[in-house]
Amino acid sequence: MVKIDFFDSTLRDGLHATNHRISEDNIEDYCQAMDYSGMHVIIIGHGNGLGASSLQVGISSLHEREMLKVARDNLEKTKLGVYMIPGFGTIKDNLITAIDCGVDIFAIGSHATEADTTRQHIQFLAAQGKEVYGVLMMYHMASTEKILEECQKMQDYGASGVVLMDSAGASTPELVKKTISTLYEGLNIKIGFHGHNNLGLAISNSYIAIQEGASIIDGTLRGFGAGAGNCQLEALVALLEKNEIKTSAKLYNMLDASELLMPEIMDKEMGIDPISIVSGMSGVFSAFKVPVLKAAKEFNVDPKDILIELGHRKVIGGQEDMIIEIAEKLANARVSDIDYYLESLL
């Protein structure tokens, strides 16, 4: 049996797709159904993590303390986890509260080149004896050498492992193979991969990551998540079993939960639409999809043009305000082009 720790982020990343709306009943039912499915951890909370509920990135329908309490009461075998990006959340306001709520596993994230921002948080959790992982988002934006350097920092801070987030769904199989193999050779801790499906590669990229030494796969049921969604865990487990790679995952349990519960949680099925494809091609954070569509409608511009410009500017999560700026500039540019055309006719 291959030792793979499955991180189930359905009730975290998936909330991007519902504008961070979820009910206590959804959390209770999901945790009960998935508790014996062989997941290492079920991660709960706002799509952007602890402390992220805000007007800028979306307000949660439930306070994170409520979400964690319901999940804790309904998990026996599976660990309870949270994700946090320093700047959204803090040690005092969020991590200590999460510890008090009985959280077992913590993932602390940063942009691919900013592992320094996670130092005090990882060190604090490690000192508390907690299982803590470092997460590098938008890893495609940095060289493989730089990614290794940032992961080594997280290792030195006390992380039990590092997880690469393909936040834009921009990874190619070649990039996954090169990066994971480099980390496998250069680190002494676990390596993980969180794939997005903007280019239709989340499952295959996750499978390649396993082949290259990753022992953590972070994904969701039905691929529920930002943009075109994440690596669909039940499909990946089926692929592994088809290739006679046995894991601790209980496929039938996962399939039952996928069939019976996910329609109640999801607003719609995940899919690879034109906007998600352009987002992946441009390397733009998948969670920008909803605000980009909103801005495009408001300013009557093509959302694909907004995404292309966001990619050119290398915009990252936390810079959502630039979406409006770009949409407005595109609208003004279009008006200027029309005026120029009319003047040329006179």
Q: What is the pLDDT of residues 311-342, one digit of tens each?
A: 989 888 778 888 999 999 999 886 555 454 44
pLDDT band for position 230 (cuts 50, 70, 90): very high
pLDDT at position 226 is 87
Q: For residue 168, with 0-12 CB atoms within 10 Å meaning exposed, 13-18 middle and 19 or more buried, which class applies? A: buried
Average pLDDT of the chain, as a whole number? 93
Residue 179 CB partners (closer than 8 Å, separation 6+): 139, 144, 147, 164
- Asked whether 168 and 157 are in contact (CB, 8 A), the reply is no
For tokens 């590669």, name the residue.
201
Please give the average per-residue pLDDT across 300-311, as a whole number. 92
For the beta carbon of residue 131, count every other beta carbon within 10 angstroms: 18
pLDDT at position 248 is 94
- The CATH architecture one would assign to domain 5-265 is Alpha-Beta Barrel (3.20)
| Out of 16-20, 167-171, 267-271, 308-312, least confident range | 267-271
- Asked whether 218 and 194 are in contact (CB, 8 A), the reply is yes
Interval 52-87: pLDDT, tens: 999 888 999 999 999 999 999 999 999 999 999 999
Give me the catalytic one of 16, 20, 46, 194.
Answer: 16
- Asked whether 140 and 283 are in contact (CB, 8 A), the reply is yes
Interval 141-196: pLDDT, tens: 999 999 999 999 999 999 999 999 999 999 999 999 999 999 999 999 999 999 99
Give yes or no for residue 345 having a pLDDT over 50.
Answer: no
pLDDT band for position 197 (cuts 50, 70, 90): very high
Q: 139 to each of 7, 109, 128, 175, 237, how far by Cα in Å?
A: 18, 11, 28, 10, 24
What are the sequence ranges of the domains in the chain?
5-265, 274-345
16 noted as active-site residue? yes
| Tokens found for residue 229 | 């969604």
For the beta carbon of residue 117, count every other beta carbon within 10 angstroms: 14
Q: Tell me the fold of 274-345.
A: Helicase, Ruva Protein; domain 3 (1.10.8)
Q: What percent of the chain has pLDDT over 70?
A: 96
Give yes or no for residue 270 having a pLDDT over 90.
Answer: no
pLDDT band for position 346 (cuts 50, 70, 90): very low
Residue of 277, 286, 309 whose CA lies nearest to 296: 309
User: Cα separation of 191 and 204, whole Å?
Assistant: 17
